[in-house]
Structure 1
């Protein structure tokens, strides 16, 4: 698996604005419709992969969201239907356009040298073939490709990048809900209102450097947002799950993110939270940040972390003990999921431990794997699958994404996921799992996914065969595929 290097680039020249040195005459978006269909322009784009191969945008779907019980027209989303949850997942914040560039080397560490590097890089605007949907769009697209009904709640500007992002979401059958209320007051400078851009720099060794406008200020990029719009609240109310990650704090204020969480709790919507690399800095951040992340960690139904992130938040290096500590501190927490990279993943509840090894694949690019993984966890959660089956499909979706290059429209397709699962080739490491689980032999229930199940009532941990899991998962995925085909 390729290593990733996260680079923070503090330079005002790191972003290219399509309308430099201009003021926004009317900084408000004129329409207030929940799903931004008025901005859709039905063009076809292509993106250059890290191997220099152009891939086209997926075929556009009808202007509707395909939910569990049929099709719901875009305009229906703003109707109040008490108790009805006909949206599967709403992502909250973190909508951006990635500018993916191959570079000879990543920026040097000294600040002045990094500044010079970015000034050189930004002398000319990036070609559209290097643009890609990023941030929570990765999770949204992966979820939609699994057949879930998805809405992205956030902010995009009324410029070329915003319209590009809306086109992609629309092509994937994903609705867009503007997060800010009409009476929010914002700075007149266009840069405070524009769609957030993230530069994704890839060196010849496939190491990555990331930077965005959010790196250049101590305040969130959209700190002018003060309250959830009526439409955003309705989307949360109608969703089974909302998903937020730590990068949301780079663009939205802690107060606004907490208001989304509080409203989700009020209306019975489950909360998925992935603190990501930002979790470590948030727990020692401003008083508002510390309060907000503490509330997300305690009030979320499902927490998703890497083993390193779990250790940074708990101080415990054993991933299972770290997960159990997060469960103990949680108020609403039902699942804690620890991502173990090429080893696999672990799902911990108050009464059980479920483990599934990763699939063996030729890893090309790990960007977007974690987001795709979350989408599949949501799929299993909504469909009330056995826990180890949920991990199985999540590992498959993450691995299938790793076989491609980049995120956005390049995350795994349903066909790729099913093909990988049919191959049933797990990255089994019996010694690793045996040593880890032996430390927790007193747990009430331990389930381990293996290539071959062992018979016997006294075998510990309990083993579930991958073949059995795949045989029961494939019909569900094939059903989702059939629904997608009919919607196109």
Structure 2
């Protein structure tokens, strides 16, 4: 039977509060920034919107607060065409991300989880039908790990493919890693995970990207994708490792680019693409997303021409 959804996202919904700075302040220092801009964000919502804008049939399991940000976040998801049947409202604040963007387009982010911290395994149980109707279920770690594990189990039991973006990096049980196909990490997230093997993060970061991917596979996931920013990405599974170059573009703002990459990856996997082909497409979508400011507002549509 055909799946109702290409991708279901179980994850966070945040309001992104963004300020541009000429340089980031040192401890105890104050610097002036640009006007404050508020955008819809959160890793879960970003991935859902990005996949929907690319033409995917997308649903989301998430929580927003009953505050003013909640309406903005709901409207952004609805406008993109994301199914909101399991977008739940929690009394109290929505999640908020405080983002500073430097002149080179790189960002620093502090996240206040708000309603995201209240997404529970009971919410997963009530959303089992939606999860079971997805080809791919995508996760991040801005919601509690027990909730992610419960949803990953439900997805696997229903025959859906599990994609976990280990961001922000946090300890996860081996059972969760074993369900990943793929585990998606950047170099810092990989160093965090491998550093827990007894090596320091710095030692893990000195490994070559191929060695990192192979070491991650040894932790149990069925496949691994390591993103390398402007240098592209690596895809690794039991058949070997392949490097994928990224298009060269002018970087304006990297906020949410990793989420665009993961969303595009999930969508192509849902359509049956081999992992390496899905990664090639995802690098092009990620490159398109850094050419404009903001997260969701920068994501390409299915009709946009992607960089080569």
Judge same fold: TM > 0.5, yes or no: yes
Q: Counterpart of 2:15?
A: 97
> In 1, are the aligned partners of 2:7 and 2:270 still within 8 Å (CA)?
no
The CA deviation at 1:91 is: 1.0
SS in structure 2 of the partner of residue 91 of structure 1: strand
Cα deviation digits, residues 255-307 of structure 1 (max 9, x gap): 2222112211222221100113x32xx23xxxxxx43xx33222212111123
Please, which of 42, 58, 61 is the counterpart of residue 153 of structure 1? Answer: 61
SS in structure 2 of the partner of residue 359 of structure 1: coil
The CA deviation at 1:105 is: 5.0
Q: Counterpart of 2:138?
A: 243
Q: Counterpart of 1:327?
A: 217
Say whether residues 1:211 and 2:110 are aligned partners.
Answer: yes
The CA deviation at 1:380 is: 2.4
Distance 1:207 1:300, change over 3 A: closer
Distance 1:311 1:201, change over 3 A: closer
Q: Distance in 2 between matches of 1:105 and 1:412?
A: 29
Q: Counterpart of 2:234?
A: 346
> In 1, are the aligned partners of 2:11 and 2:45 still within 8 Å (CA)?
no
Say whether residues 1:314 and 2:232 are aligned partners.
Answer: no
Please, which of 398, 405, 408 is the counterpart of residue 293 of structure 2? Answer: 405
Please, which of 128, 139, 153 is the counterpart of residue 233 of structure 1? Answer: 128
Cα deviation digits, residues 289-327 of structure 1 (max 9, x gap): x43xx3322221211112343233225513223322332
SS in structure 2 of the partner of residue 347 of structure 1: strand
Distance 1:343 1:266, change over 3 A: same
Larger Rg: 1
Q: Counterpart of 2:199?
A: none
Q: Distance in 1 between matches of 2:290 and 2:219?
A: 33
SS in structure 2 of the partner of residue 130 of structure 1: strand
In the TM superposition, 1:71-86 aligns within 5 A as 85-86=3-4
The CA deviation at 1:203 is: 4.3
Cα deviation digits, residues 69-108 of structure 1 (max 9, x gap): xxxxxxxxxxxxxx65211111112111112233565454
In the TM superposition, 1:48-447 aligns within 5 A as 85-103=3-21, 106-110=24-28, 130-178=38-86, 193-204=92-103, 206-214=105-113, 222-223=117-118, 225=120, 227-228=122-123, 230-248=125-143, 252=144, 254-276=145-167, 278-279=168-169, 282-283=170-171, 290-291=172-173, 294-315=174-195, 316=204, 317-330=207-220, 333-416=221-304, 418-421=305-308
The CA deviation at 1:131 is: 3.1
Cα deviation digits, residues 206-265 of structure 1 (max 9, x gap): 4433223349xxxx96348462255422211111111111223xxx3x322221122112
The CA deviation at 1:151 is: 0.9
Tell me which of the two structures has the higher relative contact order, counting C-alpha pairs closer than 8 angstroms and 6 or more residues apart.
2
The CA deviation at 1:364 is: 1.2
> In 2, are the aligned partners of 1:200 and 1:208 still within 8 Å (CA)?
yes
Q: Distance in 1 between matches of 2:219 and 2:240?
A: 17
Distance 1:229 1:387, change over 3 A: closer
Unaligned runs of 5+ residues in structure 1 are 1-82, 284-289, 422-488
Instruction: Give the number of the structure whose residues are more often strand, by fraction.
Output: 2
Q: Distance in 1 between matches of 2:65 and 2:300?
A: 27
SS in structure 2 of the partner of residue 414 of structure 1: coil
Aligned residues: 297
Q: TM-score, normalised by structure 1?
A: 0.55
> In 2, are the aligned partners of 1:297 and 1:326 still within 8 Å (CA)?
no
Q: Distance in 2 between matches of 1:340 and 1:213?
A: 26
Q: Counterpart of 2:198?
A: none
Q: Counterpart of 1:466?
A: none
The CA deviation at 1:386 is: 4.2
Q: TM-score, normalised by structure 2?
A: 0.84
Q: Distance in 1 between matches of 2:165 and 2:159?
A: 19
SS in structure 1 of the partner of residue 288 of structure 2: helix
